[in-house]
Chains A and B, each alone.
Chain A
Amino acid sequence: MITKTDKYDVIVVGAGPAGSIAAKTAAARGCNVLMVEKRQEIGDPVRCAEGVAKPQLKEHIQPDERWIAAEVKGSRIYAPDGTCVELSEDVSGAEVGYTIERKLFDRALAREAALAGAEIHVKTRATGVILEGGYVKGITATHLGEKFEVRANIVIGADGVESKVGRWAGIDTTLQPADLETGAQFLMADIDVNPDYCEFHLGNTIAPSGYLWVFPKGNRSANVGLAISGEVCGQGKRPIDMLRDFIEERYPNGKIIEIVVGGVPASGPLEEMVTDGLMLVGDAAHQSDPLTGGGIVNAMDAGKLAGEVATQAISEGNVSKARLKEYETTWKSRHGKRLKRSLSVKNHFVPMTDSELNKIVHSVDGVDLSKMSLFEMLGTLIRKNPKMLFSLRKLFI
């Protein structure tokens, strides 16, 4: 047998941040946990710009210099004409604070799950779920070409943007191209980069319907990448080509030491994240921020909540959809409103022309935004641009 037993309390599919935290949480509370990951190396290849806010991160793991590449003070947002506004770290959102090494970070989280008692198998791919009487009762999987079945009271689908666990159990997680941000990134070395700020560049030439980022990684290196809507991507240049154009102009002598490609859900969270015997967490439940594409901390929060609710539900002998709903409701009460707001802001900004974007950034030129809360900042933006941002008024003022 590939696994130690053929029946677990909880099976977690996918060892990203969502899965590892879910496995750790459930195992620490006494559950017998199996986590399977299809890659042979957890955390590799990276699909991320690796930016994360400090306070939210610290709720889940003690920062460790082994996986922190850099620390920034705030962010700089550049209008298409190059004008820039500066934001402090606190208002920059869930993506700004540390730049981490996801390869090491994801492994550190998996190690914590292991230390809490979870059994982990890599190069082990889930290929389906076992469905009985409408309940998910386990998974079918393959390891080194060998097929096997393993059962559980609850399956947690933490299988990221390409999630199939939900689809196998009747939750349609298929994304429309317009609801996926698709991107490319180079880890660049030997470039002139301000180590204190994450940069965000807006504009319809640089990154139509999305943005370009420069996240410092220390030692004259940075993650330089961009993501655009999957719909726009199909109509013209690909992210990788747009990125090459930018780099040629901005960092002609930089060296590319890693290529990253990937997609992130930008639809806002799934309506239904649970069904009988199954919970979806992280990108599998489309929990990433539709505006920024940030999903690490949302995924970790989901993993923790799901692990807690799963443990309780199992001890009560009730793993029905109605019982597991507690996870979904709690997660949504913490993140739902913010993500809804992000989606509205995104929908508002995406159609803007470069000259409109320039105007908005100019309107706060000289205003000290660095001490404002996010609300105050957006309020200021809306007051200064009442016509252009009219429909956002209700959300922020």
Chain B
Amino acid sequence: MINVNRYRCGYCGACVSVCPTCAIELVETWIEVTDDCTECGACVSVCPIGAIEVPQ
């Protein structure tokens, strides 16, 4: 599952829009991720502020 650095995150929802499994939800000021996450990295790619990473 992806790691979201919530201190860095600007809660814009860009990651939500590209998630192919609908695993990401923006709840007001934080991101929630469900087990449907496949670690595909689409969200990592689009994050304008670099707040998301796929664990090595």
Chain A residues close to B by CB (< 8 Å): 38-40, 45, 47, 123, 125, 160-164, 167, 173-177, 180, 182-184, 230-231, 233-234, 238-241, 259-263, 265
Contacts and interface: CB of A to CB of B under 8 A. Distances in A.
Contacts of A174: 17-20, 22
Given A161-B13, A164-B22, A233 B46 contact: yes
B12 A233 contact: no
A164 B19 CA distance: 11
Interface of B: 10-14, 16-20, 22, 25-28, 41-42, 44-50
> A-B pairs with the 8 shortest C-beta distances?
A234-B45, A263-B14, A162-B13, A230-B46, A162-B16, A261-B10, A262-B12, A239-B48
A226 B20 CA distance: 26
Given A230-B18, A234-B44, A240 B49 contact: yes
28 contacts: A38-B27, A38-B28, A39-B28, A45-B12, A125-B27, A162-B16, A162-B26, A163-B17, A164-B25, A174-B19, A174-B20, A174-B22, A176-B42, A180-B14, A180-B46, A182-B14, A183-B48, A230-B46, A234-B44, A234-B46, A238-B48, A238-B49, A260-B10, A261-B14, A261-B49, A262-B14, A263-B46, A265-B17
A184 B46 CA distance: 12
A261 B15 CA distance: 12
A263 B17 contact: yes
A234 B48 CA distance: 9
A5 B25 CA distance: 27
A233 B48 contact: yes
B48 A162 contact: no
A167 B46 contact: no
A162 B17 contact: yes
A146 to B, nearest CB: 14
B52 to A, nearest CB: 10
Contact of B14 (A161, A167, A176): A161
A180 B28 contact: no
B51 to A, nearest CB: 9
Contact of A262 (B18, B42, B44, B48): B48
A229 B14 CA distance: 12
Given A40-B28, A161-B17, A164-B22, A47 B12 contact: yes
A182 B11 CA distance: 13
Nearest to B42: A177
A182 B48 contact: yes
B13 to A, nearest CB: 4
B48 A167 contact: no
B14 to A, nearest CB: 3
A265 B27 CA distance: 20
B47 A182 contact: yes
A164 B22 CA distance: 8
A184 B49 contact: yes
A392 B50 CA distance: 36
Given A38-B28, A238-B50, A259 B10 contact: yes
Given A174-B18, A230-B14, 16 more contacts: A160-B13, A161-B13, A162-B13, A174-B20, A174-B22, A175-B18, A230-B18, A231-B45, A233-B46, A240-B49, A240-B50, A261-B12, A262-B12, A262-B14, A263-B13, A263-B46
